[in-house]
Structure 1
């Protein structure tokens, strides 16, 4: 018997994972074994894809109908192996592996909750998906149950529907496989954080499998001010029919978080700080990074649950039907004391300076019910090869936010020596009857096709049509009355989004493409809450039409070094129109829309293996943002202004080198350019507090040692050079979160 592929594959692909080859060999058809005594046997070809560190050849979404190298979009796949090397425990930490993403803190007194960030100059926290279905809720997402994180940049209305101006993040859940294995980690972070994860996999019967992922974490997050944060997660899943034409998956995830919230620290003492009332604050000392300005009793409770049922059926060898049903619900309940205005009456006595505490409440419930049906098929028609993905999506999303009052009045905190036991008067929280309940129902249909004209030319196209109906019921209470006044608003419409790309392949492993795509963002898209047209420019006004975002992208992708390393380069221009509501008639109180924002830039990336021992993932992004049309000539929305929190340059790098079979060393760096809060090009805006976040570079390092067949040890050192930097700043510039100092994390990993 000759197994040609074993010999030839190893020669052509020296980085092939030998275990995959062994598994393939074990699975030879019984018919071949039955002919073992025959003098002549038919040739058997065994093929196994190389297991390349960091690099993925495809995204999980069935809507992306071609390999990544032939897909005319900017897509980064962050695999779980990379997250394990970095000791990343959250989605936000995972996103640090791709440039062009910046974290946010919140609007003045309202501290943001959960994963809040911008991507390519646009807000993106409402464009997070789990296994292709939108995920709602102001929660900080954990990475314990993630197979990989997929980042798709640029307007993507054809992919996900409304509100996709920046692109989207897709979180891919771990699901059962036919394998008996137990793995886990025990980690300790300097400062007191303890984290435990476990992954149990069991096969049963002829085609079933069970998987259970667990997570527990307790202690202060690295870089915080000794605030206790406790999280627990469980994600059971079971599958039937693996390896069969029909497969059924049932899986769920349940997260509980019990945290002491952090309202950030005052920006007094930072370079660039200015206060017109107390000009001497410009030379004041910076507050201690370990200060906490909250009060005993501040809390944050998070509950997040989702249950999913997925059925896959192979209609033909090249046609697969998938139906997925998901129910998800999350609840955020938080009361905290945030910082606000500083009082510094005596310039000679900093010990007497104080900062006002603002009592804040977040009480919000999110719910989603979704059913999606997708068919992917490959076929030839009229001499042209097609890979088609088509489907139907039914979604019902709901967000309920009651108003809680009676939070009490907190005394001002000493600026340099805050006391969490300071007096709090009038604390008797209750719901006063005011609320906002938004609901959006969506019916969407889509069609994608990758058309292979010949070996050199491909056409990639997609079209989505959806009907949305948004309804907001609310009630307000205006003192001195205690009677709620109800209100009802509705907005519905049809959205059509599309994308098209022409791909030229000079070689089988490279492509050059030109693509065009759009997206639509109707009012209330992010929070399902519509607003009545009032006296200010509210982008959620039910009277407004959807904003339209378009993107032109020229790029190239190459798989080099025997397909072990992927190189990408992208040049793009994104334009958003109709984003600023303007009153055009004072007499009739008529409002119109104008405003045009342009974001353009270049992004370069590399991911994979340079050699068998050397792995790397790197990216750099250059971005320029500008308001091209506006109703004002000055201010943050004025002509020529840039988009706040949008640095011109960001870069990220992580690399790992295996010195031998036991020891590997790794590390990386992250660079973020200056992020401006005040972006008025005329200089007329009042430069109160911090005008910007300075640029910074953070370097991390890692060492791992395989202690035995089943146990490995890992040491991560974050911020090796103890760089002081701001990780986020509020829109008012009065408070910020400091990036983590130099800190170490030790992890023991077990696998049986």
Structure 2
């Protein structure tokens, strides 16, 4: 009976959900009015209603809490110790005890939960719930909203970059790869309107992270290009994180926080038009159904032709539906359903001249070929559908125990047809073996002849179908032993994946054009034939995990944890049975020193393991398992991180600064052929070490900035001779790693300088500098240094929003993706976007509609 009473707020919302049909129009672009939800959470445990006089002066929150405890007798717990440094306005005036709690937190972005008539918990609003335009964007003062990582970013001993919803909206970033463009250390194999052979393909510090994309702490199993319409904010954890997230995570983790139902009514509508042509519409409606229940729906439609890329288009639509039960209470359940459909033309970019001894290949656009040239054919297309359902439960049991139980089920389909065009020399033997015309494209280009035929490789595409399910149960326990404070995290992560795939084979002759004049139309009689058989694979993983952070003193703490994975993958590839079970541990250990509430210094060690086929829904790993039949050395990849750093909150916590020194070592490195998808383990040992600096937040109330610098000294320190690496790669640079990266995004509210101007007039922009890198371990294919810039101007007045964005302001020739077998995708040319938005919001209601 007691359990039913505890869950009553959740159960009571089930009847209210029937009123979803009454939702009205608009999309939450950014809703300042929703800030009233911060610090005003409803509770089932009421405090005394007696009104009394308070006179507690402003100061650090920890001091104000102590004074309020003395005057009211309420035991107030800070959920995260470091938030005690945040400035509180104090409490002055006549209030009830509950009103005094809220007054103490006014304008802080912090909320209070009353857990009993004599107890309350003060906690940060998760980053995914912080939406006020003028609020501080100091990411160090936010939490991850992932149960396995309970501390603020300031108290988490690892380099983490957070991209807020405000920044995403300002940049008009519509896909996840666009959101990540201002994060140094990330290279992308995605491109405008495509996504390569395996959807979004990211590399963090040079290491593949295509299987390390998470949404709300759960794996996103599919291979597709992710639109940002359903994303509240994005967090990048750099370096191994297997102890928290499971196998993989060699370079790090990309964590997306989805938009969720919340208390209060809010809606907005946004339309964007631009060059290309480009058109996009998003609406977002949130409705409170009763005191603890709300529903939200977000929908998106997008259509564009990519500027300066002939024949490349990207059309997609999507919807996110979210219902929250027990909101604002100690027991919450959020149920989400996500669907995205995409219809686009894959863009593998332009060829790189490759294979000529002594010649380092570059994209042919660096030699005079037009960036507009498209080397695919009219039959190329990419149809994708993703359907994902998620249930997130979170329960607070007093101030010592928090339980979360999160479940996701996803189904993904794709029909990809493409034409891989390369610039290499084809000998008579290769011509005979592969049935392609002999040619000397690479040699001709090295001699300055661009009017030469390129090579069409005889691969036609695939039709992957995949599904996955995951459940993560986590307990966060706070307690004391022998006078020392503990924060224990323990749980179990279980997931299952299934993937099947058939392949297209070209039939008929496809006559290639020249680099200067590619042929877009298919040759007469050409077709793609879908094979009757393909690959079919399944994988399972059970990973219990435990970690404990222990405060040895008020300032000094140690943290240690481990996850033990039991992983198995098996299946059938065109009649060949494969099976690859494995067990491995992923440890992590940290030392933290916090001399003040505004400073953190740390040392961190972490190890990750990537087994064969760790993400079977990606073509590369499904095919790589099959290739293991002839590769007995296909062992798990492992990586070790050593990092020492500091984090500081400045200017009354408005501005956050970070600095870190790190070394990341990876052994048994594997490389993936982006055409065939086959993964080859080379035995290479890679080392990436360097410095990363960051700045995030408000320099003044009107001036907002996010800036970072990354130095990555990188080298292959061991290389085994093999068919893949016939010449030792020792001493070469690690593929996909730029030694230097600088990113800056900044805005200023010009309206603060003009007294007669109402609203917010933001002007700003940013630039992204990335030094050169190689795309193969032989260092024979090279992407040059590039700097791209973006500018924006927006005006917000009451419920209206107007915006102008200019992407690639200087019309720079740069590349947003590159592939190790010889092609790179140019970024879109200078693009103008015009946005109009309308927002409506009302305060949180009591008693539903």
Give the shorter-chain TM-score range: 0.7 to 0.9
Aligned mate of 1:249, from 334, 357, 364: 334
Q: Which runs of 5+ in 2 are unaligned?
A: 1-31, 55-92, 110-134, 425-438, 672-679, 752-758, 841-849
Residue aligning to 1:6? none
Residue aligning to 2:310? 225
SS of 1:413's partner is coil
Query: Where do residues 285-324 of structure 1 align in structure 2 (5 Å cutoff)?
Result: 286-324=368-406
Distance 1:144 1:42, change over 3 A: closer
Q: Which runs of 5+ in 1 are unaligned?
A: 1-16, 476-485, 582-590, 682-686
Aligned mate of 1:598, from 687, 691, 700: 687
Partners of 1:273 and 1:282 within 8 A in 2? no
Distance 1:595 1:227, change over 3 A: closer
Partners of 1:239 and 1:250 within 8 A in 2? yes
Instruction: State the TM-score, normalizing by the size of structure 1.
Output: 0.85
Aligned mate of 1:403, from 486, 492, 503: 503
Distance 1:650 1:571, change over 3 A: same
Residue aligning to 2:118? none
Residue aligning to 1:483? none
Q: CA deviation at 1:291?
A: 2.1
Query: Where do residues 510-549 of structure 1 align in structure 2 (5 Å cutoff)?
Result: 510-527=599-616, 529=622, 531=625, 538=631, 544-549=634-639
- Superposed CA RMSD in Å reads 3.3
Query: Where do residues 280-679 of structure 1 align in structure 2 (5 Å cutoff)?
Result: 286-341=368-423, 353-358=452-457, 359-433=459-533, 435-475=534-574, 486-527=575-616, 529=622, 531=625, 538=631, 544-579=634-669, 594-632=683-721, 638-660=729-751, 661-677=759-775
Partners of 2:177 and 2:200 within 8 A in 1? yes
C-alpha distance in 1, partners of 2:526/2:37? 70
Structure 1 residues 131-157: Cα deviation after superposition (integer angstroms, max 9, x where no partner): 111112221111101111110011111
SS of 1:82's partner is helix
Range that drifts further, 327-336 or 79-88: 327-336
Q: CA deviation at 1:449?
A: 2.2
Partners of 1:636 and 1:642 within 8 A in 2? no
C-alpha distance in 2, partners of 1:510/1:414? 60
Aligned mate of 2:322, from 219, 237, 248: 237
SS of 1:159's partner is helix
C-alpha distance in 1, partners of 2:514/2:839? 50
C-alpha distance in 2, partners of 1:196/1:455? 51
C-alpha distance in 1, partners of 2:689/2:366? 39
Residue aligning to 1:684? none
Q: CA deviation at 1:495?
A: 1.4
Instruction: State the TM-score, normalizing by the size of structure 2.
Output: 0.76
C-alpha distance in 2, partners of 1:597/1:284? 29
Range that drifts further, 289-298 or 174-183: 289-298
Range that drifts further, 592-601 or 148-157: 592-601
Residue aligning to 1:584? none
Partners of 2:41 and 2:329 within 8 A in 1? no
Partners of 2:187 and 2:736 within 8 A in 1? yes
C-alpha distance in 2, partners of 1:379/1:211? 37
C-alpha distance in 2, partners of 1:592/1:91? 29
Q: CA deviation at 1:699?
A: 1.3
Aligned mate of 1:705, from 768, 791, 795: 795
Range that drifts further, 654-663 or 356-365: 356-365
Between Structure 1 and Structure 2, the one with more helix by share is 2
Tell me how many residue pairs correspond in the alignment.
694
Aligned mate of 1:742, from 830, 843, 846: 830
SS of 1:464's partner is strand
Query: Where do residues 176-187 of structure 1 align in structure 2 (5 Å cutoff)?
Result: 176-187=261-272
Q: CA deviation at 1:731?
A: 1.4
C-alpha distance in 2, partners of 1:732/1:551? 29
Residue aligning to 1:150? 235
Structure 1 residues 666-702: Cα deviation after superposition (integer angstroms, max 9, x where no partner): 1111011011235548xxxxx5xxx311101111111
SS of 1:95's partner is helix
Partners of 1:715 and 1:745 within 8 A in 2? yes
SS of 1:354's partner is coil
SS of 2:180's partner is helix
C-alpha distance in 2, partners of 1:665/1:111? 35
Query: Where do residues 254-273 of structure 1 align in structure 2 (5 Å cutoff)?
Result: 254-267=339-352
Q: CA deviation at 1:22?
A: 8.8
